[in-house]
């Protein structure tokens, strides 16, 4: 992982811009012990760190991602440490694969108590570089919006029937702040699922199914590493990000949002035109990182 030299006061800067939240181990254990928790994107990064902490707290963790070998390695490691984990390699961009996944999981475990929609695809590309790459928009939406929505739709009938369930959406603070050039496909897809789930939440809360959204700040993972400018910015480690996800699971808040995002959200709406102009100037000047970046 690429990291820049950290100046004095770096931890405070990280906390102010990205937030810090860690549920105590005993409270997490009370919330998840003997519960079945499905975590997507759990072969690396935030998903892996979340799965490991949940397993230590006594949850039965269902690991879902595309990378079969790495997923099995994480499951084996968790089980060797005394936890309980099961690996389910799945392409979450394939609706039929999601249907098969849920059938298998419900057959083998009977239920899913908590769903953590964490898997994602990040892409940073200018519109000029996208004229012949409409497939980038399709793929990004498949992973960040359509796949998570399909997974929720497949699991909701059983959650509503048992009148219990919790859905955690690992989103990005970028959907709450003014839009930025080059991030159009990524932010649009994350915003789409964010709004979709907020609408659905109004329909399912009365059936005992709750939702939480973690508007995650910058996290230094494989997904952010291809973009050099992000490596210089204050961000969380995967473990710190996992702490926020675990807090959402245990406390079930409506959302977890970094401290600096709320005022940025308000100011961005109050001063929409000048804010857009400011980002336009930034884009025109360039950030010395013009090559398209994509990761998932």
203, burial (CB in 10 Å: exposed 0-12, middle 13-18, buried 19+): exposed
Q: Does the pLDDT at position 54 exceed 60? A: yes
Mean pLDDT in residue range 39-47: 97
Tokens encoding 217: 């700040």
**Nearest-CA neighbor of 120 among 19, 202, 43?**
43
With residues binned 3-state (H G I as helix, E B as strand, rest as coil), the percentages for the chain, rounded to 5, are 55, 15, 30
Instruction: Give the angle subtended at the CA of 244 by the CAs of 24 and 211, to the nearest 5°.
Output: 105
Please say whether the dihedral angle defined by the alpha carbons of residues 36, 38, 43 and 49, taken in this order, is positive or negative.
negative
CATH of the domain at 181: 3.40.50.720
Residue 3 within a domain: no
In a domain, 1, yes or no: no
Classify 170 as helix, strand or coil.
strand
Q: Which pLDDT does position 2 carry in this prediction?
A: 44
Catalytic residue among 44, 145, 186, 215: 186
pLDDT of the residue at 289? 47
Chain center to CA of 227 = 18
Sign of dihedral through CA atoms 85, 142, 170, 291? Answer: positive
Where b means 16+ CB within 10 Å and e means fewer, 61-91 reads bbbbbbeeebbeebbeebeeeebebbbbbbe
The average confidence (pLDDT) of the chain is 87
Give the pair of three-digit tokens for residue 192: 């789409």
Q: Return the minimum-mean-pLDDT range out of 77-81, 133-137, 199-203.
A: 133-137
Of 201, 92, 194, residue with least CA distance to 150: 92
The answer to whether the beta carbons of residues 130 and 52 sit under 8 Å apart is: no
Tell me the three state secondary structure of residue 62.
strand
Does 4 reside within a domain? Answer: no
Q: Give the C-alpha distances (Å, rounded to integers) separating 173 from 8, 32, 55.
A: 25, 26, 27
**Looking at residues 82-103, what average pLDDT do you find?**
98
- Overall domain count for the chain: 1
Q: What is the arithmetic mean of pLDDT over 69-86?
A: 98
Distance CA 100, CA 293 (A): 32
Which residue segment(s) compose the domain that 243 sits in? 10-295
Q: Tell me if 103 is assigned to some domain.
A: yes
Judge whether 58 lies within some domain. yes
Taking residues 75-94, report their average pLDDT.
98
Residue 293 has pLDDT above 60, yes or no: no
**Which of residues 103 and 237 earns the better pLDDT score?**
103
SS3 285: helix
Per the domain annotation, does 5 fall within a domain?
no
Residue 134 clears pLDDT 80, i.e. is over it: yes
For 153, left (φ over 0), alpha (ψ -120 to 50), or beta?
A: alpha
Active site residue 215: no
| pTM beyond 0.95 | no
Residue 265 confidence (pLDDT) above 60: yes
Q: Which tens digits make up the pLDDT trace of 177-214?
A: 888 788 899 999 999 999 999 999 999 999 999 999 99
Q: Is residue 46 part of a domain?
A: yes
What mean pLDDT do residues 14-33 have?
A: 80
């Amino acid at each position: 992982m690429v990291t820049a030299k950290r100046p004095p006061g770096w931890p405070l800067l990280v906390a102010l811009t990205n937030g810090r939240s860690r549920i105590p181990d005993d409270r997490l254990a009370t919330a998840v012990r003997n519960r079945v928790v499905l975590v997507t994107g759990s072969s690396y990064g935030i998903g892996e760190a979340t799965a490991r902490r949940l397993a230590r707290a006594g949850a039965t963790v269902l690991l879902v991602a595309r990378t079969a070998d790495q997923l099995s390695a994480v499951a084996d490691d968790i089980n060797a440490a005394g936890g309980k984990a099961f690996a389910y390699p799945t392409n979450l961009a394939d609706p039929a694969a999601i249907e098969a996944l849920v059938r298998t999981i419900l057959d083998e475990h009977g239920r899913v108590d908590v769903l953590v929609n964490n898997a994602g695809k990040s892409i940073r590309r200018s519109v000029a570089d996208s004229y012949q790459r409409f497939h980038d928009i399709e793929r990004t939406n498949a992973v960040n919006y359509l796949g998570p929505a399909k997974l929720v739709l497949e699991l909701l009938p059983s959650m509503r029937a048992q009148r219990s369930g919790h859905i955690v959406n690992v989103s990005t603070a970028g959907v709450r702040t003014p839009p930025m050039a080059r991030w159009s496909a990524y932010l649009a897809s994350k915003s789409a699922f964010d709004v979709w789930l907020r609408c659905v939440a109004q329909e399912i809360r009365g059936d005992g199914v709750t939702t939480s959204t973690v508007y995650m700040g910058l996290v230094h993972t494989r997904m952010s590493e291809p973009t050099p400018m992000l490596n210089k910015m204050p961000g969380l480690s995967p473990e710190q990000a996992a702490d926020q996800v675990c807090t959402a699971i245990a406390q079930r808040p409506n959302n977890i949002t970094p401290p600096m995002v709320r005022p940025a959200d308000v100011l961005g709406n109050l001063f929409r035109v000048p804010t857009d102009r400011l980002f336009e100037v930034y884009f025109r000047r360039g950030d010395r990182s013009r090559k398209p970046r994509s990761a998932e």
